[in-house]
Amino acid sequence: MTTPHIRRLENAIQPYAWGSRYALAQLQGREAPSEGPEAELWIGAHPKAPSQIVGEGQTLLELINAAPDRMLGPESRTRFGDTLPFLLKILAAQEPLSLQAHPSRAQARAGFHHEERARVPLSDPERSYKDDRHKPELICALGAFHALCGFRPIDETQELLGAWGLSALPAYERLKAKPRSRGLQSCCEALWQLEPSALGKATAKLVKAAQRCASDPKSPQQGFASDLLIVAQRYPGDVGLLFMPLLHHVVLAPGEALFLPAGCLHSYLHGVGVEIMANSDNVLRGGLTPKHIDVHQLLRTIRFEPTKLRKLVPDSMASQHDFEPDVEEFALSMAHCTGHEKHRHRPIGPEFLLVTEGDFSIEGQHEDPIRLRCGQSVFVPGLHGEYSFLGTGTIFIARLGTGQVAVSAREN
């Protein structure tokens, strides 16, 4: 049996309204600005937008379906069947994404089958579950990347609300309830239940407080206030604004990453990053969007617990950084290369290589090298065996996870 060869990919771009007209075009060396927003470059075999195999007239999904044993390999098939378990993206947010959370595996299965039995079309804009899989995800910043991620400690939230003169708002007063998790859930329920007039008054008061804070260079919340004002300009009067003080505000430096497990309420505000996730498109939205909001499902999904913000920070002394969150579906490695050393790798399952800076040559077994420029990618089949890459710049390797915490990227 011949070794399946490495394939160059052509990847679909999702034109979501929040996307940048510059980032992906500039990354790929195309003319900028693009004609319309370009939000996500999808690299994978998701049925919604599978990658095309260059020169073969078929998609990666079709290739895997025709030969899952060779394309995925025994390790991946034993754990995940005949489906590629992860999806890789480049995300380019010019405007904020929706306030959202992703379901657990059990919730995804139950929700998907419920909507299937109810014969809700997959194309229905009010459908919440597009598939029966969970969607943990990890984002690694390519530049400064601003996000909201997980609930702040209650004391920290109350201190912020007090400083901004907002602690007397009835919904926020519910944070005082015991236990703390119940107070958080009660607060969120009250925010989603606000009548339009009360919502308008509350968001107006929040924006005024943010304006004062943003103009104060001594305030430790100045950056958060500035981001809140940007979001308010795009979504005036939106209930999602009132959730922002409840959540950690984080700015990732290039190379830093965030892992978002199931049930983590979050929103990406602006920036460009490489994102890897389980191969799912399940998103439950709660604000900052014109799309369907499903409060009922969110209340069943969100983990109403304060969390410690954990950024994954690469070791500055290492040339390769491995982000291995506690999930089985995926892991992500980032290698900074100087062109002096050939990197060899033997995969245990299917992999993607994605160049985000510079030029690389990918060498497989008994095949011509493939040259990759910035923004280009290849698929390495699970049964391919050892390959190598050589180049100058930055390359990402998307691969199967181990379910163990990273050893070459520290938490901060």
- Report the alpha-carbon distance of residue 153 to residue 161 in Å, rounded: 13
The continuous run of DSSP H or E covering 305 comes out as none
- DSSP H helices, 215-323, are 222-234, 240-243, 295-301
β-sheet bridge partners, residue 251 = 146
Q: Would you tell me how many other CB atoms lie within 10 Å of the CB of residue 410? A: 13
- Report the alpha-carbon distance of residue 86 to residue 44 in Å, rounded: 7
Q: CA dihedral in degrees (339, 345, 347, 352; nearest 10)?
A: 0
Of 7, 133, 285, 399, the active-site residue reads 285
Q: CA dihedral in degrees (162, 163, 166, 167; nearest 10)?
A: 0
Confirm whether 117 is a catalytic residue: no
- Report the alpha-carbon distance of residue 127 to residue 111 in Å, rounded: 10
Alpha-carbon radius of gyration of the chain: 22
The catalytic residues are 285
